[in-house]
Every structure is written in C-alpha cells, then in structure tokens.
Structure 1
Amino acid sequence: MSAWLDSLTGWLTSHPEWLGLAIFLIACVECLAILGIIVPGTVLMFAVAAMAGSGALTLGQTLLLGYAGGLLGDAISYALGRHFHQGIRRLPILRHHPEWLVGAEVYFQRYGIVSLLVGRYIGPLRPMLPMIAGMLDMPLPRFIAVSLLAAAGWAVAYLLPGWATGAALRLPLPEGFWSDAGVMAAGLALVLGLIVQTSLRRQRWATPLAAGLCLAALGALLLGWSRLHELDQGLLTLIQEQRHASLDQVMVLITRLGDFNTQLYAGALLGLLLPALRQWRAALFAGLALLGTALANGGLKALFARGRPEVLLEPLHSYSLPSGHSSAAFAFFLTLGILAGRGQTPRMRLTWLLLACLPAIAIALSRVYLGVHWPTDIIAGGLLAGGFCAASLALVQYRQPLEALSARVWWLIVPLCLALLGGAASWALPEALALYRYR
C-alpha cells in the first residue's frame, strides 16, 4: 500500500491540476458503501489534504471538495440501499462479510438518526450506515438533512489536520517551531492515547486517570508556555494567513458561542433543566464541571497575566492564558458528551466525546483566527475543561455509575440549549464585528 500511495502522491505532485478532483473522489469513496471499508481512505485524505495545504488549494476549497465528495458517497450509498432493499444481502462481497451489514444494521436500528451523526467517525460503520438508512426506508428529506450536517463535521475533522500540516511545511516558520510542535504533539498524543486505551479496556480508574493526565499536561504547559513562543507565533501566522473578509463574520459568530454571557446562560439553563427533570446526579456533575472550570480559569488568568497577540486594532485588555472561550466551550460540550455516553459501550462513549469536541474546537480556533488568543491559550483551556469534567465525573461516580438520561430528557435539553446558544450568539453580532477589527 505504501508503494501505491507514493505513486499516487508523486503523480499528483506532477499534475496538481487534478488534486481537487482527487480530494473529491477520495472523500466520495471513503463514504461509499463497501468500498469505504476496503480502501484506506483516511490515509489518502490526509496525504492529499497535505498536498493541498502546500499551496495548491486554499483551506476553504479543500474542505468544500471533501464535503461535496462525502455527500455524493452518502447519496450513492443511500440510493443503493433504497433500490435493492433486503436484496443487498445477496451481493457477493457481503455474503462473505455479513458482519459489515449486520453490525451497521443493529447500530442504526438502536440509535436511528443519531447513528448517522456518531457513526460518521467510526471507520467500519461510516460507509455502511447510509446504505442501511436507504434499505430500511428512512425518509429522503430526513436523510438529506442529517447527511448535510454530518458530512460538514467529518470533512473538517478528516481534512483540516492534513491541510494544516502541508501549510506549515510551506511557510517560513520561526526557528525552533518544529521541535516545539513535536514536543506538544507528543505530549497531547500520549495523554489522549492513555485515556482512550484505559477507557476501551473498561479500567475502573480510567476517569480519575483522565483527570490527572489532563491536569498534569495543563501544569506542564503553564510552566513552559514562555518557551513555546516560536510554536505560538508560527501557528498564529499559519491561521492568520487564511483570514478573509467573507470568513470574518462566520468566525465572529462562532466565537460569540463561547462568550462569557452566552456560556453563562447555557450553563444556567442546563443547571436548571436537569434538577427540574429530577436528574439530580447529572445536575451535580454538570455543576461541578462547569463551575469548577470557570473558577479555575479566572484564577489562572490572574496568576499568569499573559498578554494577548497584537492583531486587533484595539487589543483586548484582559489576560489570555488559559482561553476563557476555549475552557468554557469545552466544559459545556464535554459535559453534554459525557452525559450522552452514559450507559453505552466504551467505543460509543469515546465517539460521543469526539462529537462534543467538534463545536468546542471550532470556537477555540476562532479565537486564534481573530487574533485574540495564542494557540497554547486554547490548548490550555481545553486541558483545563477536560481535567475538571473528568474529575467531576469521578467524584459523582465514586459509589455507583452515573445513569443514562432518557430520550425524553434529551429532546428537551438539546433544542433549548441550541436555541439559546444560537440566539445569544447572533444577538450581539454587529457589536462583536465592530470589536474584532484588524490592524
């Protein structure tokens, strides 16, 4: 496979005009029933995204091509399932691998629409679920709506890392950038790897370990942030290079989701809904996680008093480390992700946490895009929230596991929280646009 991949990337390097089509087709195949399991699409997507980031395509073009390709793969898979129905089981390759179809079918019947959102990030399920949706006659308008949403997050998660790597290799970055980046990446990979492994093995001490690892990594970052200036400056330059007038309003709207007032209202709403629905232990967990993160963030900002990047016309005067937007967003969405994963398998719990991190990552990156935080600020905010969420869960689950919330509870919590976040973010958008003016 390595020789074949080298041959493909070599040919695309010589013929960059075909790179856009390659991204589209690879994304399509990765989401296409059966083929998505056989073809190593994840590796290919990283490779072509890195080539695009080296200067061939902008980030927007790369994400749009991957998004369109993923949608086409979903549509073809759904159409196959809708056309063949149960006859799809008689296809030769599925007769030899019935577990592919059976596993996806059981998953879809158990979780319904949610399976299309969560399963998007589980390799063997991703290409099969749209076909199962068609085979079981999921209404087309509902499938289209879910596919449009799921493909957007998937394209960002699978293409952005590769594109950023290619762009970093192209730019004249400060001396010492790559050594700092290597240390940071290795540290985060070690933390995440240990958390995933202990969670999958159902270790009783997995949650306390996750809290300890996040807080230990946060401590190391807080002690060494002054030595990571080259990393901060290089990543800030990389992200600022993608600034565009048409993207500014989108980023300001996203960053509004992490504003203090927005997160305060969202946290208060969640804190009121859970007790009102008699979810006492869930309410205790949410209160400890959100309040603890907020108080710790304020204390650390005052302690380290780190200045912000000088990008805005009128720089903000508050301190930047850790990022309040990042810590608040990660705390809120991780709380929802942890509650959503209660009572499910370790793999499903980790998938819910991954989904919960996506909006928080978008809010955190918007802060660097707008030039009001250094990259290490938002990483510190994420580690702080992760540590307090895990510690709060460990305390609440000291004697017995936290029970799962019923579907009735979720149908009330999710729409109200989303409506509040969206309304609060858009309400003060004109004022925010005036605030985030560039030099």
Structure 2
Amino acid sequence: MNGPWGFVEPILNFLAAHPDWVGVAVAVIAFAESLALVGLLVPGAVLMFAAGALIGGSHMPVLPILLWAMAGAIAGDGLSFYLGRRFRGELRLLPVIRRYPGAVNRAEALFHRHGGKSVVIGRFVGPVRPVIPAVVGMLGMPPGRFLLANLGSAVIWAPAYLLPGVVFGASLALALEVMGRLVAWIVLVITLFLLLRWLLPRIDRPLRLAGHRLARAVGRQPPRGVEWAWLRPLHAATRALRYRRGWFWWLMLAVLVASSARALLEPAPMDWERGMAAVIRVSASGLDDAFWAVTQLGGVLPVMLAALALVGVVWWVEGQRRALLALLAMAATQAIAYGLKGWIGLARPLSLTETPAFGAALPSAHAAGIAVLVTLWVVLWPAARPISRNLLLAIAGLLTAAVAVSRLALGVHWPLDVLAGIGLGVTLGALPVVARSPRGSGNGSMTAVAVSMVVLLATAGLTRQLQWPDPLADYPEPPGAPVMTAADWLAGDGPLPQRRLAILGLEAPFDAQWWSAATPPAGFQPDWQQPPEWRWQTLLRWVSPRPTPARLPVLPRWHAGRIAPFVRIRLGDDPTRRWVLRGWPVARVERGRVWLLQLEQERITGGLLLPRLERQRPDRTAVRRLLDAAAERAERRSIAGIRPPRYSPASESWPQGGISD
C-alpha cells in the first residue's frame, strides 16, 4: 500500500502475527479516529474494515473486539469534548483546524440544526466526525447530554464500522452469497428506526395533549374543604398527566393493579413466569452470595433506616409536611406490601412459603422498599439541577433493577411479584408530589438524599456482614442435578419431569429417558452428528437465500433454565429436512446419568429475509425406531449387578423395560 496511508500495511501485518493485540489495536484506532485533530489524518474507516476482515478470517471472538472499539470511540470523543470546553475559541487557531475550516463550520451548522443529536449524526459523517465532539464542547453543550449521546452512538458505530470487515473476512464466497440479504436487513433496520423516530413524537404529543385537557377539566386548584381532602391526591395525579412522569406514575399504578388482580383470579404463577424464573435462576448459579449482598439493599432494616435518615434531614431543614409525607409513603408501602401478601397468598418458588423464613410471594417487599425509597429521592431532589437529576434517575433505576433481579436470581420470587413491588413503591413514593407539597428551598432535599444514600449502603453492608436479619442460609441451595440411586430410578420414584419447561412456559413433552455411563450418551454415532457451532460464519448462513440443514447451527432450546448440552442432528434423503435430538441431564445415578431426550424434525427452506423453519413433533413410532437403533449400537453391560433399561420411551407412565445397558 503506497501513498499517505502506507503505514497501514505494517500495522495489519503486525496484527496478523499477534492476534492477541487486535482488541487493543482496534481500541487505539477507534480512539485516534474519534480524537479531534488526529481523526482528520487517520484513515479510521479503512483500518476498522481491515481489522474486521482480520477478525473474520482468523475466527477470533467478535464481542470482545466490539467492546474494545466502543471503549476507544467513547474515550476519543470524550477527550475531544473536554478539549473543546477547555480551549473554547482558541481551538480554531490550532494549525490542523485551520487547514480544515470547512469541517468546523459544518460541525457548527450541524449542532445548531440538530442540537444534542448532532453527536450521534456526526459520528457517521465523514470529515465532521472527529471535530463534532470538540465543537459541541466549545459551544457549551451540557456534559450529561453529551455523555448519553456519546455512549449511545458508540454502541451503534462500532458494529457498523467493524462488522462489514468481519463478514468479508469470514468467507469471500459466503460474503458474496449473503451480501444482498445483509443490504436488505440494513435498509429494513434504518427504515424501522426512521419510522420509530417519526412515530414516537406523534404518540407522545396526543398523550400529553390529552393530559393537558384533563388538567384543564379538573381545574388548577384542588377541591377545597375537609370533606374533599381525599380527592386532592387524585386531582394532582390527574394534572400530572401533562408530563411524561405523570404517565409513568399511572403506568406503575396499572402494573400494581393488574398483577394483583391476576394473582387474585388465579393464585399460581403463569407459565412464562416459571420459565423466566428458571432461566434467571440457572444463569445466576454460582453467584448466590453476590446476589444476596445486592438484595440487602431492599431489606426492611436498610430501607427503613435510610428512609428515617431522609425524613430526619428533610424535617430539620425544610419543614414537617414533606417529612411526614415521606414517612407516610414508606410506612404505607411496607404495610400494604405485607397486607397484600397475606390477602393474595401466592406461593413462592420451591415451596418456600411453607418454610418459617418466607411468607407469601406477591408483592415483593424488597422491590417495593427500594422502589419507594429511590422514588422519594427523585421527588425530593431539587428541580433546579436537571443534570444531576438525570444522574439520580439513572442511579435509582439501577438500584431498583438490581434488587429486582436479585430476588429472581435467588429463586424466592416470580417476575410478577417484583413488578408488583416496583409498582407499589413508585406509586406511593410519589406521595409528596401527589399531595402537592411545597418544594421548599431545595438545598435540604439534596443533603437529605445524600445522607439517605450513605445510610442505605452502610446498613446493607452491615446486614451482609452480620448475616442478620436476612441470613443467606435461609435461601434455597443453588440449582443442580438431583442425585438418586439406580433402584429409585427403576422404581419410578425419582423427580424426573415429563414436560420441558421453556422460557415461555411448559411446552412439548419429553420423548424418552436415557441412562448412559458415558457423557455425552453413547450409541448415536454414526447416524447422528454434531451440528455446526455458532460462529459468525454459521450465523451468516441463516441469512443465505439457499439454506441447507447440514450447514446451519441448531437454534437453542431451554429446559428449566438450561440450554440443551447434548445436541445432535440426523440428515436424510430430503435435503430440506433434518432430525434434531436434544438432551438434558437431570439426575446422577451410579456410574452414569439420566438424560431427558426430545426429538424434533425440521424443514428449512428459503424465505424472504430469513429461512423458513417448520418444526414437527414426531410420532412415537418414529421416536422408537430412531432411539432403538442408537441403543442397539451402545455397549450392553451390567452396573453393580443391575441390568437397567437404557431408555424408556415416553408414555403416560414412563414405562420401564426398554433395552438394557
């Protein structure tokens, strides 16, 4: 490679010889391409495409490289923004900037036309890209808005610049095969984005207009008189529909009412709740101690002490009314949460309701406690500080989500339990606003929130250290395969399910039980083969207009939160069809494991943008024929003097007496 970009070739040669440095190199390229002044001289697009081709050709994992690219782009734009704010008008006097006056002028015009969106737009626009962060900093864009735009645009920019090279490097023939489909997908995604951008304001405006009309209808002043005091919160909540926060409050109230009504009508978890809880529980396996530490943030003791600290400072600085309303919101949340638990009586997962440490499930008191506390933080925070208020909103959302996920990961709640708890906490946490309390000076509110945060973190850490009043020993053990004897399994006394629990609930039944001393189960070779692994090359084959079952990886299926670890495919004479066999180990017996097997037949043909996949459940005759052949090939031997059946085909009672091992 000759000319001004001649230095690119030795860089690519070095990366080809040292693939471990590709992530760092991509971060440096993204940083330099995003940095003011330097980005005007660096061919970032060429280098990112070349790095992507190198990744695709060497089968390196793409996700870590994408994270490196995002980090470099964020850091480069962040430094450029700082330079713009630091030097202001002096930036124009720098030699490199004077060589490209048009780029700075276009960046200024873009900012004046689009405001904060100019950071997102400018990241994809040629010579404007490396100077737009410095220009918006020079023109005084708030750091908070810039940070959000910087993070959001980097998440889109890194794949857009890197993945085309990955596709090209993965396989030239494959790239040519799927290029038309990829272009169609890109056009579709851009069209949907533009449609969403056009649609959202047209939904938001009518909603807020309706809110303004309701506000005018109920009047500016609340009903007067003691006998109408109960209507004042409703009046304030109705007038709040003029704002997005008001709509969010009504949404949380609707979530609380809907989830409680659902549990009252049918006091049992829904299928999708069971599946989602199983997936989260298994995904968090091994992290119980960490999630238990997080869940202390929503415990009764830390939340109540943090609320008392909040109320005390507000009482001291701003006055009694807001302090009493905050205290009433916290007390009412805890009282209503435990009252609803006793009234609805929804059972917890794993029969925890029958243990002395846990009561009924809905709503989650931990989720309600942290939600009401952080909502009080938000409503008591000074309105004159919008930047710090956005940061507080982010912290509040993060704490609430962390506690909610921890309850699911520990296996003590269903998803609707935590949603109902969050709805209850947000609804009552807005009481100081709904009751139309005067705002006060605002300084006391800021101090109160800061003190409450410190007390919450300190108390949660102390309860974790002391393991009181919510010890880890009360929580269920991490999930694992049950252990049973061969005699128990033969007698049918083992806890083996007959239906597969997927993410969205109970689905098709299993087809067979299989006892195998080998892992994975023996006897399936040579008729059954391993499917292609999930890599960038195989993922792109799903976009091919001419899909073939032998080249496509198998879509994942879950049981009780686990993806099937044993997957095999069997090809036949029909080039569009294949058999798919999935197996889950569910119990350990002497010298082996019991597996639950499920068979499907797939028909894969070309579609408009993706292949058409048709699944068909086989009949029992086909299942017996396929599994009999595999069992015949497996070695027959006795284990501890017992000749157990190698497998039991599915029926109403899982009959024993199949082929012996």
Residue of structure 1 in register with 2:477 after alignment? 438
* Structure index of larger Rg: 2
Equivalences for 1:187-202 in 2 at 5 Å? 198=208
Identity of matched residues, %: 21
Q: Judging changes above 3 Å, is the alpha-carbon distance between structure 1 residues 218 and 313 closer, same or farther for their aligned structure 2 residues?
A: closer
Residue of structure 1 in register with 2:605 after alignment? none
Give the CA deviation at 1:276: 1.1
Unaligned runs of 5+ in 1: 1-19, 36-55, 109-114, 129-150, 152-189
Equivalences for 1:131-142 in 2 at 5 Å? none
Bigger share in helix: 1
CA contact (8 A) 1:312 1:438 kept: no
Residue aligned with 1:97, SS: helix
Structure-2 separation of matches of 1:285 and 1:126: 38
TM-score (norm 2): 0.41
Partner AA of 1:78 in structure 2: G
Give the CA deviation at 1:403: 4.7
Give the CA deviation at 1:350: 7.2
Q: Judging changes above 3 Å, is the alpha-carbon distance between structure 1 residues 104 and 438 closer, same or farther for their aligned structure 2 residues?
A: farther
Deviation per CA, 1:92-111: give whole Å up to 9, x if none: 34233233455896453xxx
Match for residue 220 of structure 1 among 247, 258, 270: 258
Give the CA deviation at 1:382: 0.8
Residue aligned with 1:205, SS: helix
Work out whether 1:97 is the aligned partner of 2:124. no
CA contact (8 A) 1:343 1:403 kept: no
Structure-2 separation of matches of 1:336 and 1:365: 21
Structure-1 separation of matches of 2:347 and 2:205: 32
Residue of structure 1 in register with 2:75 after alignment? 75
Unaligned runs of 5+ in 2: 1-21, 40-59, 98-102, 116-134, 156-199, 216-238, 479-661
Structure-1 separation of matches of 2:66 and 2:451: 31
CA contact (8 A) 1:308 1:373 kept: yes
Structure-2 separation of matches of 1:417 and 1:196: 38
Work out whether 1:423 is the aligned partner of 2:462. no
Work out whether 1:320 is the aligned partner of 2:361. yes
Equivalences for 1:67-216 in 2 at 5 Å? 71-82=71-82, 85-86=87-88, 91-92=103-104, 93-99=106-112, 100=115, 102=136, 106=140, 108=142, 115-116=143-144, 120=147, 122-123=148-149, 198=208, 204-206=239-241, 210-216=248-254
Residue of structure 2 in register with 1:274 after alignment? 314
The higher-RCO structure (CA 8 Å, 6+ apart) is: 1
Residue of structure 2 in register with 1:295 after alignment? 335
Residue of structure 2 in register with 1:243 after alignment? 284
Give the CA deviation at 1:343: 4.2
Give the CA deviation at 1:218: 1.6
Work out whether 1:335 is the aligned partner of 2:371. no
CA contact (8 A) 2:83 2:137 kept: no
Structure-2 separation of matches of 1:235 and 1:285: 37
Q: Judging changes above 3 Å, is the alpha-carbon distance between structure 1 residues 352 and 300 closer, same or farther for their aligned structure 2 residues?
A: same
Deviation per CA, 1:231-252: give whole Å up to 9, x if none: 211110221121232x322211
Q: Judging changes above 3 Å, is the alpha-carbon distance between structure 1 residues 348 and 361 closer, same or farther for their aligned structure 2 residues?
A: same
Partner AA of 1:362 in structure 2: A
Residue of structure 2 in register with 1:396 after alignment? 436
CA contact (8 A) 1:211 1:389 kept: no
Structure-2 separation of matches of 1:199 and 1:270: 36
Give the CA deviation at 1:288: 3.4
Give the CA deviation at 1:362: 0.7
Residue of structure 2 in register with 1:358 after alignment? 398
Structure-2 separation of matches of 1:357 and 1:336: 11
Give the CA deviation at 1:321: 0.5
Give the CA deviation at 1:211: 4.3
Task: Name whichever of 427-436 and 248-257 sits farther off.
Answer: 427-436
CA contact (8 A) 2:407 2:413 kept: yes
Give the CA deviation at 1:338: 2.3
CA contact (8 A) 2:337 2:368 kept: yes
Give the CA deviation at 1:210: 4.8
Residue of structure 2 in register with 1:386 after alignment? 426
Q: Judging changes above 3 Å, is the alpha-carbon distance between structure 1 residues 289 and 74 closer, same or farther for their aligned structure 2 residues?
A: farther
CA contact (8 A) 1:77 1:127 kept: no
Deviation per CA, 1:369-411: give whole Å up to 9, x if none: 00111111000011111222335422124xxx635622x752x
Task: Name whichever of 416-425 and 255-264 sits farther off.
Answer: 416-425
Length, aligned pairs only = 317
TM-score (norm 1): 0.59
